[in-house]
Structure formats: structure tokens, C-alpha cells
Amino acid sequence: MTAEQGLATAAINTWKLNLERANKLFLPLSDEELQQEIAPGKNRLVYLLGHLTAVHDRMLPLLVLGPRLYPEYDSLFLTNPDKSSELPGGAEIKKAWQQVNEALQAGFDRLAPGDWLHKHGSVSDEDFEKDPSRNRFSVLLSRTGHVAYHLGQAVLTRK
């Protein structure tokens, strides 16, 4: 196994582990349970799941894996705070979560280890030349940390 293969495999396995943890936490919850706030006056679990879904959906074009599946989630879960608009039901968000993550995994499976070092979709050739760390691999690492961070918040509801 080359160093590139080892790093890509380790990063993807860490991504998968965090998704498995998120699935174990979110997917069994009822609509009522998804209405729990992380802390009094803070985001609800339903909003957090939608937020993670929207962020992962944005990864598809960012990693040059395909078009977004749920661009309408941006206004619901990224640009506006929780409780500012009517949200889709828990079952709908869970379905979107699963579809987006399946599309990401299918894209990951198509990438060779060296492809992770290619520029991501929102950096220009000129900027990438100046800073080659603006690559697909860095996006995967940062989004893996993002999931882990929000899982840390979500477990606060499971006292």
C-alpha cells in the first residue's frame, strides 16, 4: 500500500465511522425526539441533522463528484437559524441525509488515492497553484471534523 493509499483509506474510514455514529444517533429518533434542543434555547436535533445534510450536499460539487441533491436545504439549515422557518419532517430529512451520503460514498469509491490531492471545486487554478493544500483531501478532513463536532453537541441531549 502506498502512502497516498494509506492516507486516503484512513481518512475515508474516519469519515465512515463518524457517519455510522451519526446514523446510530439520528436515524432511530422519532419526530418528537428530533424536536429536542441541544441545550435550552439552542438548535434542535432536527435542525442539526438538516444542517449536516446541507453541508454534505455541498460537498458533491466541491469535491467535483456531481451536482447537489438538496440545494433548497441551504436557506433552511445554513443561512437561517433554527425556528425561523417551517422545516421538512424528520423522515424527509433522514431520507435526504442517507441519499446525500450514499452519493458521496459512490463518488469516493470512484476516486483514486491521488485524486484526493487535486484541487477542490471552488478554488481557481491560480489559487491552487499558490496553495495546493486547497484540495479534496482537506475538504474531507474538515467535513469529518465538522460531523464529529456536531455529534458532540447532539449527545448532550442523550443524558
- Could you give all domains of the chain from N- to C-terminal order, each with its CATH number? 3-157 (1.20.120.450)
Average pLDDT along the chain: 96
Q: What is the mean pLDDT of residues 46-74?
A: 98
Cβ atoms of 54 and 78 within 8 Å: the answer is yes
Across the strands, what pairs with 135?
119
Q: What is the mean pLDDT of residues 134-144?
A: 98
Given this model, what pLDDT does residue 158 score? 77
Contacts (Cβ under 8 Å, ≥6 apart) of 35: 44, 45, 46
Given this model, what pLDDT does residue 90 score? 97
Residue % of the chain over a pLDDT of 70: 99
Q: What is the pTM of this model?
A: 0.96
Q: What is the mean pLDDT of residues 68-73?
A: 98
- Give the confidence band of 159 by pLDDT, cuts at 50, 70, 90: low
Across the strands, what pairs with 37?
44
